């Protein structure tokens, strides 16, 4: 789901510096953010601890004003977990 993003060679910097400069393409995550990795880890940890069980009306509550909440909502929707932000 999130996290298996490729490394992309940054051609202009690589040429200017004479070494390969690589960037992690986090924009390819489902929510388009590096925060998708954090959100996925939080949900995975909650499931592992049996605090959250997909498909059982478990609900995620997230108090946020930022992009982490968007990432949690995106991943929760993909896993069919209800979420309240």
pLDDT value at residue 54: 75
What is the reported pLDDT for 1?
A: 65
CA 68 distance to own-chain centroid? 8
Helix axes 35-48, 67-78, angle to 10 degrees: 50
- Output the pLDDT for position 80: 67
Catalytic sites, residue numbers? 35
* pLDDT tens for the chain, residues 1 to 85: 677 788 999 999 999 999 999 998 888 887 788 888 888 898 899 989 998 887 777 788 888 878 888 888 888 888 766 777 7
Tokens of 23: 């960037």
- Going by the DSSP 8-state scheme, the letter that residue 26 receives in this structure is G
Q: Give the model's pLDDT for residue 45.
A: 93
Q: Is 44:81 a contact under the CB 8 Å cutoff?
A: no
pLDDT (0 to 100) of residue 38: 87
């Amino acid at each position: 789901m999130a996290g298996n993003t490729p490394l992309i060679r940054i051609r202009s910097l690589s040429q200017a510096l004479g070494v390969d400069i690589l960037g992690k393409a986090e924009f390819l995550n489902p929510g388009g953010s590096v925060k998708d990795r954090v959100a996925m880890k939080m949900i995975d940890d909650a499931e592992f601890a049996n605090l959250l069980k997909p498909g059982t009306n478990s609900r995620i509550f997230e108090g946020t004003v930022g992009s982490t909440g968007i990432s949690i909502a995106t991943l929760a929707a993909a896993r069919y977990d209800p979420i309240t932000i």
